[in-house]
């Protein structure tokens, strides 16, 4: 019996010494499934494509994205909808400071579709987006740039000039870049509203699924920089 008692005591002592190591590998209650303890606030700055034109708020891109991120285990990431229908790149620039508060950790920048639809000079669009990105970077707010493509009926010269805006900005500012925000939806009438310009709820789901790997890469960059 005495030897049994000594063995039990030794086992208890060994277990006590092992407890700190055990707790070291367990995630804290504040951590999400990615192991990150600090919450992230990402502002989705854009036009009607981001705002969720003619859709319930729950079906707007930022809300669907936040839901999908939670499904992927990113519990501590909030996506703020800062989309305004009708906004051009210059309009987004004009409201940049109040649309993106100082506590913002990152911005998804989606602007320029209305510039193209109105036939604005691509250089104006480029200049507005360039200044917006520069001002955000001056505030140490990283940017994910969501690109746009010109409608092919705008003419070859316009298409060439407009389509070049986004890869150029991404390279010049070293941005995480997604080439075409409407990828997967625009060419499928079943995923678009009757106007042929805006995605329906099913279209938004497809857009989020297609863009999700790029957004997760952006989030991981934010985590690494924090």
Q: Which residues are catalytic?
A: 48, 195, 198
List the structure tokens of 37.
């303890």
Judge contact between 111 and 47, C-beta under 8 A: yes
Instruction: Phi first, then psi: give them for residue 108, nearest 5 degrees.
Output: -95, 115
> Whose structure tokens read 């994910």?
144
130 by Cβ neighbours in 10 Å (0-12 / 13-18 / 19+) ranks as middle
Tell me how far the alpha carbon of residue 14 is from its chain's centroid: 47
In angstroms, the CA 62 to CA 187 distance is 22
């Amino acid at each position: 019996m005495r030897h049994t008692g000594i063995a039990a005591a030794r086992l208890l002592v060994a277990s006590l010494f092992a407890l700190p190591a055990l707790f070291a590998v367990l995630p804290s209650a504040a951590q999400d499934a990615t192991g990150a303890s600090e919450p992230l606030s990402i502002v989705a700055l854009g036009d009607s494509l981001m705002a969720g034109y003619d859709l319930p708020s729950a079906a707007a891109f930022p809300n669907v994205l936040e839901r999908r991120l939670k499904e992927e285990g990113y519990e501590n990431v909030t996506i703020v909808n800062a989309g305004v229908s009708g906004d051009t790149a210059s309009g987004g620039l004009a409201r940049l400071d109040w649309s993106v508060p100082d506590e913002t950790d990152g911005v998804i920048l989606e602007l320029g579709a209305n510039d193209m639809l109105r036939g604005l000079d691509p250089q104006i669009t480029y200049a507005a987006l360039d200044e917006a990105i520069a001002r955000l970077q001056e505030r140490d707010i990283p940017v994910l740039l969501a690109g746009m493509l010109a409608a092919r009926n705008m003419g070859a010269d316009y298409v060439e000039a407009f389509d070049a805006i986004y890869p150029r900005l991404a390279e010049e500012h070293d941005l995480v870049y997604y080439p075409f925000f409407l990828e997967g939806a625009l060419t499928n009438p079943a995923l678009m509203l009757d106007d042929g310009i805006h995605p329906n709820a099913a279209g938004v789901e497809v857009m989020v699924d297609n863009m999700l790997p790029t957004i997760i890469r952006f989030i991981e960059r934010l985590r690494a920089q924090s």
